[in-house]
Amino acid sequence: MASPSKQPSTRTSDELRQSRKRQVALGYRLLASQRWGDLGDGHISARDPERTDCFWMLRYGVSYHAATVADLVLVDADGKLAEGEGFINTAAYYIHHPILVARPDAVSAVHVHTGWGTPFSAEVRRIEPISQEACIFFEDHAIFDDEEVQIQSTEAGARIARALGENRAIILRNHGLLSVADRVDEAVGGFVHMERVCEVHMKARDPKPISPEAARFAKEDLTRFGSGRTAFWNMVARHIPDADV
């Protein structure tokens, strides 16, 4: 298995597409390894490197633990099937398409309902620098303070995108967490970090945040080489022995 540091810096569009699709399939398996998404309540996207208004995701109905590259479908700008076989998760289209349109720098977005992120989102509060990992999101996340938890249109997704802005993550009120990044592995790993940060927030009884200066220093050091992708590949090595999907 190639680690991020060993990936070639220059790739053809097809090589980049295959790499992104493999990371999406592995990403779904990582969600399953954490016992997330058993109800089909989540999604990972990957922008196509050539058809940049289209994105890849898992076709509807596949259990996350069994996700393979062959199970991915390409969704076009109108929410129609552009490549692959199967049904499209329309809720994923409503959320991911507007975000990828609003953020040309983003390659991937990740959202799944989790045991700590979802209850934390119900409190409608920001992440504070009360742990090392929490500093990753210091001054770099937003809140979608909206009662529409059943996203049924791209207009609703566009409101999420506007609230997200240029941040790496957003807390969806009464709904859960969402992360974005310029790589699939970074987005998935970042989501895992965010969920664990929310767990700390929900468990700490009387947390004492560190100073903004200390938080910014920690964030710069933690994110220098991609904290999300490091977490992603470490988790792949731990949880997915058959990583050639």
204, amino acid identity: A
Digits of tens for pLDDT over the chain (245 positions)?
Answer: 334 444 445 689 999 999 999 999 999 999 999 999 988 889 999 999 999 999 999 999 999 999 999 999 999 999 999 999 999 999 999 999 999 999 999 999 999 999 999 999 999 999 999 999 999 999 999 999 999 999 999 999 999 999 999 999 999 999 999 999 999 999 999 999 999 999 999 999 999 999 999 999 999 999 998 999 999 999 999 999 887 76
Please give the residue range of the domain that contains residue 191: 14-239
The per-residue pLDDT for 242 is: 80
**What is the three-class DSSP state of 148?**
coil
CA 218 to chain centre: 22
Q: Is 113 exposed, middle or buried (0-12, 13-18, 19+ CB in 10 A)?
A: middle
Does 204 map to a domain? yes
pLDDT the model gives residue 158: 97
**Domain-located, residue 3:** no
Report the residue count for the chain: 245
What's the pLDDT score for residue 192?
Answer: 98
Q: Is 68 contained in some domain?
A: yes
pLDDT digit string, tens, across residues 59-112: 999 999 999 999 999 999 999 999 999 999 999 999 999 999 999 999 999 999
Domain-located, residue 6 = no
Q: CB-based burial of residue 219 (10 Å sphere; 0-12 exposed, 13-18 middle, 19+ buried)?
A: buried
**Residue 176 main-chain phi, psi, to 5 deg:** 145, -155
pLDDT number for residue 244: 73
57-86 burial, b if ≥16 CB within 10 A, otherwise e?
Answer: bbbeebebeebbeebbbbbbbeeeebebee
Which of 159, 182, 151, 170 has the alpha carbon at shortest distance from 47? 182
| CATH code: domain of residue 98 | 3.40.225.10
7 falls within a domain: no
For residue 31, is it within any domain? Answer: yes
pLDDT value at position 4?
Answer: 45
pLDDT value of residue 2:
39
Give CA 189 to chain center in angstroms: 8
Total number of domains in the chain: 1
Q: Is the CB of residue 190 less than 8 Å from the CB of residue 109?
A: no
Q: What is residue 245's predicted lDDT score, i.e. its pLDDT? A: 65
Q: Is 245 a member of any domain? A: no
In a domain, residue 127? The reply is yes
Per-residue confidence (pLDDT) for residue 9, from 0 to 100 = 56
